[in-house]
Amino acid sequence: MATEPDGRTVAVTVRVPGKVNLHLGVGAVGADGYHPVVTVLQAVSVFDEVTASSADGVTVSVGGEGGAGEPSTSEVVPLGPDNLAARAARLLDTTGLDAGELRARAGDPALLAAVLGFLEAHEPDLVACAGDLGVSPAALVTAHARLEGA
């Protein structure tokens, strides 16, 4: 966020270039527990504009043009608490971290415990994360308990 000289926070808007994923290859799980990923992207001449501003709570709104017969943007993009941006904002708000600190401390057991605690407190996030990682939600709850006890 940008701050005016009088201390008011103003909105920040960034232009995000579009891309098309021409190929996504996912390999077998390696010894490190991760899948190797290869992707081929093509930039396209369309952009999204994303605006963030300080507010009480999280609100997501989407606008744009759609083709004839296509679903409206609000039918495709979740606007409620399951929106990815809203989930990320909740995580930062709950932990008191900013994105830079979250990246810098990604391997810190205390931070991992806080993130797992956040996921555990909101079951849709816990289930989604477990699915993305290929583990059961119970495994994440167990990991949280072990990190809290460490």
Cα–Cα distance for residue pair 136/22, rounded to 1 Å: 31
pTM: 0.49
Which residue in this structure is represented by tokens 């971290």? 97
User: Which one-letter amino acid corresponds to residue 128?
Assistant: A
Report pLDDT digits (tens) over 47-60: 877 777 777 777 77
The vertex-6 CA angle with 5 and 7, nearest 5°, equals 90
Mean pLDDT of the chain, nearest integer? 78
What's the confidence (pLDDT) of residue 2?
A: 53
**Is residue 67 helix, strand or coil?**
coil
**Higher confidence at residue 105 or residue 60?**
105
Lowest mean per-residue pLDDT among 39-48, 94-103, 131-140: 94-103
Residue 42, CA atoms < 13 Å, CB-side half-sphere: 5
φ/ψ of residue 74, rounded to 5: -70, -15
% pLDDT > 90, the chain: 5
In the numeric block, which tokens belong to residue 105? 């401390």
In the numeric block, which tokens belong to residue 114? 């806080």
Nearest Cα neighbor of 82 from 64, 60, 103 is 60
Write the DSSP symbol of residue 29. -
What's the confidence (pLDDT) of residue 10?
A: 67
Report pLDDT digits (tens) over 130-147: 888 888 889 889 999 999
